[in-house]
A and B are shown apart, each in its own frame.
Chain A
Amino acid sequence: MTGMTLAAAIPPIPAPHIEYLQLSPMLAVFGAALVGILAEAFVPRRHRYATQIGIALAGLAASFGLILYLALDGYAGSKADLAAMGAVAVDGPSLFLQGVITLVAVVAVLQFAERRLEPRSSTGAPVDSFAPEGAAVPGSDAEKRAATSGHATTEVYPLTMFAVGGMLLFPAASDLLTMFVALEVFSLPLYLLCALARRRRLLSQEAAVKYFLLGAFSSAFFLFGLALVYGYAGSVQLGQIARVVEGQATVTPALANTTGNDALLLIGLAMLGVGLLFKVGAVPFHMWTPDVYQGAPTPVTGFMAAATKVAAFGALLRLLYVAFPGIAWDWRPVLWGVAILTMVAGAIIAVTQTDVKRLLAYSSVAHAGFILTGVIALDRAGLGAVLFYLAAYSFVTLGAFAVVTLVRDADGEATHLSRWAGLGRRSPLLAAVFALFLLAFAGIPLTSGFTGKFAVFQAAAGSGATALVIVGVLSSAVAAFFYIRVIVLMFFSDPRADGPTVAVPSALTGTAIALGAVVTVALGVAPEYFLHLANQASLFVR
């Protein structure tokens, strides 16, 4: 009897209304991932490589086209709205960052597909930079068999597509649960991809385990924070949280005991922050970056360094700008500290590095700090500046890691810096392009790095964070030192007799590097249009 009355009291759960068009960019990528899995099962081994690349690129192209369509149709501006019952925001920042992520992913897939760098297998089949059989124990007979028979881990393409799908969802997620799901969807495939290096497999697996353990830990933080914030606000929807924070919302009776409890709010926000700051690689949550960047296959490192940063900063921006602007007085000082620590520590520790990939890892930490200065601005200028910085930075990063894949010796990539001595004499063009990327990292004018840095510092100064700008400028000077040290090494040192060779890449890596260089120069010399685009996009829907 009581059961019946209860059942009558609960209103029927309505079927969710899903706006398929607005979600289509993500659906296209997830679709490509699923088709990729089917292809893995049904397509004969010798055709898989071409099929998988075709599916991946088609999915990304479709997704990018749909993003463009949505943006042009006004979803980046007047028609911006929440979709899927308020779980996903289709607005300017979402579409801008999704556009950047799909482009980054296209370039990354091109690099994943590169098969000209590694020596051919004994059967004469060209091989890529991934382990022939991920499940085989390193150094075992099974692995040798897989290597000699010329197998390839074509699963990387569907895995990448899942990661990209998660990344597209992450900055667009408009409630904390969706955000968490997106975080896991893009993190899990990345853990796997990190473990799949063809060379130095133990290092690669160690990196993957580290990344997984720390990543799982930070996910747990995020989840716990989510629960606490739910306790505070009675909702996981960002807009609703903001209304509760501002004291405009009615309280759910069931949560009357906890709603409005500031301790829940502050601890919850801190834990959400830990989860996101881990993903962007901010100090003191940066410990994983050097090991993972070094151990992962270099194309994956490039993809991760560029796309994860974009997605994670997108989510961080949405969280802070949409849900918690009301308590900016509480989180801003903390973020000040994190930004200063990140800039200073990233720049100073990078000075002592002797491995190119670790150097780029610490440089990415320092850049996370620079981007944070823009986040702290908490206004439209800051948002636009961060969006621009992310776009600029991701292409420089992709290009730089693509160059790293080309400098090789008998053991694979020669990443120790001493091996790069005199590279400028042997292959001036490659060294010049790498120098361009380093100058962009250093923020020298006429490169995209400078425009981005100027934009975020300008936004920070405009919001009164003068001290942050001064710390930023000084750590830029420290950072410039190590970038320039690499240039000195390449151009002014004598080449070593047993030095590495520069592999001649196929058009795939060539395209990646050329695109990186073109974007770097274009955003440095003529940034007007892109700054305009980023500014136009810089309005969150709530």
Chain B
Amino acid sequence: MSFPLLTVTAALPAVGAILTAALPAATDTRSRDRNKVVPLAFSLATLVLACVATARFTPGGPRFQLTEYHSWISQFGIGYSLGVDGIAVVLVLLTAVLVPFVMLASWHDADPVVDDRGTFERNRRTQGFFALILAVEAMVVISFEATDVFLFYVFFEAMLIPMYFLIGGFGDRTKGEDAKQRSYAAVKFLLYNLLGGLVMLAAVIGLYTRAHTFDLVSITTALQNGSLHFPPVVENALFLGFMFAFAVKAPLWPLHTWLPNAMGEATAGVAVLITAVVDKVGTYAMLRFCLNLFPEASKTFAPAILVLSVISILYGALLAVGQKDIKRLVAYASISHFGFIILGIFALTSQGQSGAALYMVNHGVSTAAWLLVAGFLMSRRGSRLIADYGGVQKVAPVLAGTFLVGGLAILSLPGLGPFVSEFLVLVGTFERYPALGIVATAGIVLAALYVLVLYQRTMTGPVKAGNEGVKDLKARELVVVAPLIAMLLVLGIYPKPIADIVNPSVNQTLSQVGRTDPAPHVVNAIGGGQ
């Protein structure tokens, strides 16, 4: 039996979470740091395993690789089956890369309170925070790896619980009314996603009554050779059930309203975890499950979903322009970007989907860079309001500079990662739906507006009262930011390695849906084409 690489990659953070939670409570700053180094070590070890998995993945090989299978609940045809295609392996890698940075950036976010007399509040809050992050990582990774619909569903739902505690239990506002806001945000997050998940559960059961198995590969094979056929009404209903859950998670307008609350109230690190890691499961699942299981319904509903995603792009961007709160601004910007990703997926062209897959990676890295730096800034003044800042670049030039680079990535400046993917998505959409492509392009203009206006208000001009004492980035913070910016540059200048892994899987998905690119086929210059 070969080494169960995928299982271990998912299990390692889970073990880390349990160990971290079980460590003795910190009694002083030294033991507190020990309680943080353990989870960090686990997340780094997971990163190593994710790199190994990526290296062992053969682009263009069999569709699902590194597969594992064990029977789990045979009565319902449920198997513990794991496997990754190019898109999944890249997203596992993205998750494993981002989690250590989130941990480092959140290093002091959950520190116990030291009161006036200098006594150390002895509790397990700090290690609980890091344990929850590891638990989320484990569940996200296994969701990416699952090739069994039921297995995916279980972790898709279960990850809500640690996420909920991360949002509700930790935040920069802890007292009175503010704490109420936070618990409201956590409940809103949970209820939205739970409702989506339960609707999906009905569809999952419906799928089983038709297919009598949950194995993705068996179902897709049966669909292709015609031994399984859904009547159109059933297929449409099941598609909508799945899509509803993923559209809440991703999130797609008009199901997005939980995201600004959740990201606004969570710490910057947790906000990155939400938007850059957890929400990717939603867009990934659209590619993986909606398109593969319900190809005909995907084609039927594609125009409607494309219109919703264009609305997301413009609506998110417009609201981002008008925000007064930095984290909420980032949240609305993310809604706009998720619009692009979903646009790319449902344009059903190879450029569009390659772009969408790359966009997931780029959005993760660029949002992490932008929001974590913003988080460093906010932690210095304890305020999230844009109006409280001004002229920061004079007192903290490195912070301002990195914030600018992160922002430029968000607005898709050529040379940085997101440009490549946004370009591909728009080209892919334009091929089939020129009008939507043109409207979506307006989102880029608005992105420039909200990014640059935010920079201008907070960083340029005379130093605003209260900002004189803002310190520049510390060594720990530089360790977080520098690699993220380096990755943005690499992804922007030389995206070929990632594109090479992703492209064959995109083509396999499209052939499952039965869509070919409209002629004439535009050669995909960046990914090397077919």
Contact = CB atoms under 8 A, between A and B. Distances in A.
A462 B198 CA distance: 18
B191 A480 contact: yes
Contacts of B194: 442, 477, 480, 484
A413 to B, nearest CB: 25
A470 interface: yes
A450 B197 CA distance: 12
Interface in B123-180: 124, 153-155, 157-158, 160-161, 165, 168-169, 179
Interface stretch (B69-77, B288-296, B347-355, B454-462): B69-77
A457 interface: yes
B183 A476 contact: no
A473 B201 contact: yes
B5 interface: no
Given A484-B190, A491-B168, A492-B169, A477 B195 contact: yes
A474 B206 CA distance: 15
Contacts of A488: 168, 183, 186-187
Contact of A461 (B157, B191, B206): B206
B176 to A, nearest CB: 9
Contact of B72 (A445, A466, A493, A528): A528
Contacts of A451: 73
B526 interface: no
A469 B205 contact: yes
Contacts of A461: 202, 205-206, 208-209
Nearest to B167: A492
B44 interface: no
A259 interface: no
Nearest to A445: B154
Contact of B157 (A444, A491, A532): A444
A44 B74 CA distance: 55
A454 B208 CA distance: 11
A528 B157 contact: no
Interface centre among A428, A445, A491 (most CB of B within 10 A): A445
Interface residues of A, number: 36
A532 B72 CA distance: 12
Given A462-B209, A492-B182, A445 B165 contact: no
A457 B202 contact: yes
Chain B, interface residues (CB within 8 Å), range: 20 to 34
A454 B205 contact: yes
A212 B136 CA distance: 50
Given A428-B124, A528-B74, A466 B206 contact: yes
Contacts of A445: 153-155, 157-158
A527 interface: yes
Contacts of B489: none
A110 interface: no
A492 B166 CA distance: 11
A461 B194 CA distance: 21
B199 interface: yes
A18 B37 CA distance: 70
Contact of A492 (B154, B168, B199, B201): B168
Interface string A409-452: 00000000000000000001000000000010010111000110
A467 B47 CA distance: 45
A443 to B, nearest CB: 8
Interface in B263-298: none
Given A492-B168, A528-B74, A476 B157 contact: no
Contacts of B75: 384, 528, 531-532, 535
Interface string B198-227: 110110011011000000000000000000
8 contacts: A446-B154, A458-B208, A480-B190, A484-B191, A492-B168, A492-B186, A528-B75, A532-B75
Report the 6 A-B pairs with minimum CB-CB distance, sorted nearest first.
A445-B154, A492-B183, A473-B202, A473-B198, A477-B195, A445-B157
Given A454-B76, A477-B198, A480-B194, 17 more contacts: A445-B153, A445-B158, A450-B154, A451-B73, A458-B209, A461-B202, A466-B206, A469-B206, A473-B198, A476-B198, A484-B191, A491-B168, A492-B169, A492-B182, A528-B71, A528-B74, A531-B75
Interface of A: 384, 428, 439, 442, 444-446, 450-451, 454-455, 457-458, 461-462, 466, 469-470, 473-474, 476-477, 480-481, 484-485, 488, 491-494, 527-528, 531-532, 535
Interface of B: 71-76, 124, 153-155, 157-158, 160-161, 165, 168-169, 179, 182-183, 186-187, 190-191, 194-195, 198-199, 201-202, 205-206, 208-209
